[in-house]
């Protein structure tokens, strides 16, 4: 009986795999929601900026509230995109040397890279909380709301980004070694001619 508990039985393995699949599906849905909010915010920002420019240049009319809201929305989309870039591997990386490393070593380089990113993100988030505590009591001139709602974007998005970094680190640790095969290889003359 003890060996069965230690080594597991087929039914417990099956239940564990089902649980992992459910977590993956929930994670995908959560990411799609996260990504969708970013897309809606970017679309809204584009529409409002075009509207503000047309109103200002063709009708000589501008709203300080709209200008401030656009600035806040721009900051929101920038910080909101941090976690999306982490999950999608869209951050800047010079991979010439990285692609030359063996895949087994690449795994741990990737983990180390994301640990460094996590440290930077946690410093950013901590400083964001401190900044909101100091400057958040002011009232904005345009929308006339406390600035904590505008500056609060920084620490909130920093926390979301930290969660995305944890997801990527877990993904790197659990991924098959083939995940770390070179993505960008130099083309031969024959491949370039085709």
Output 178 or 30, whichever has higher pLDDT: 30
Which residues, 6 or more positions from 177, have their beta carbon under 8 angstroms from its beta carbon? Answer: 103, 104, 107
Domain-embedded: residue 35? yes
Look at residue 192 and tell me if it is in a domain.
no
Q: Answer whether residue 6 is part of any domain.
A: no
> Is 1 inside a domain boundary?
no
Is the residue at 172 inside a domain? yes
The residue-averaged pLDDT of 10-26 equals 68
Q: What pLDDT, on a 0 to 100 scale, did the predictor assign at position 15?
A: 63
Determine the average pLDDT of the residues in 157-181. 87
**Residue numbers of the domain that contains 100:** 12-183
Q: Report the predicted TM-score, pTM, of the whole model to 2 decimal places.
A: 0.74
Backbone angles phi, psi at 139, to 5 degrees: -105, 135
Residues in Cβ contact with 152 at an 8 Å cutoff, skipping those fewer than 6 apart: 132, 136
Q: Chain-wide mean pLDDT for the chain?
A: 81
Position 90 confidence tier, pLDDT thresholds 50, 70, 90: confident
**Number of structural domains, the chain?**
1
User: Is there a domain that residue 103 lies in?
Assistant: yes
CA distance readout (Å), 26 to 13, 19, 37, 167: 20, 10, 17, 13
In the chain, the percentage of residues whose pLDDT exceeds 90 is 22
């Amino acid at each position: 009986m003890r060996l069965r508990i230690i080594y597991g039985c087929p039914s417990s393995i099956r239940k564990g795999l089902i649980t992992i699949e459910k977590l993956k599906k929930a994670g995908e849905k959560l990411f799609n929601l996260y990504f969708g909010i970013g897309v809606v915010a970017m679309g809204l920002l584009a529409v409002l900026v075009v509207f503000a420019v047309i109103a200002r240049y063709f009708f000589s009319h501008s709203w300080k509230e709209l200008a401030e809201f656009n600035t806040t929305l721009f900051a929101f989309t920038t910080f909101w995109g941090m976690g999306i870039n982490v999950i999608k591997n869209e951050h800047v990386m010079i991979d010439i040397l990285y692609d030359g490393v063996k895949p087994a070593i690449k795994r741990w380089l990737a983990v180390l890279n994301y640990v460094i990113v996590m440290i930077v993100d946690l410093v950013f988030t901590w400083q964001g909380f401190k900044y909101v505590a100091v400057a958040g009591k002011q009232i904005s001139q345009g929308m006339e709301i406390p600035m904590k709602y505008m500056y609060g974007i920084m620490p909130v998005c920093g926390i979301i980004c930290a969660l995305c970094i944890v997801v990527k680190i877990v993904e790197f640790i659990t991924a098959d070694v083939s995940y770390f095969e070179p993505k960008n290889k130099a083309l031969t003359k024959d491949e370039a001619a085709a």
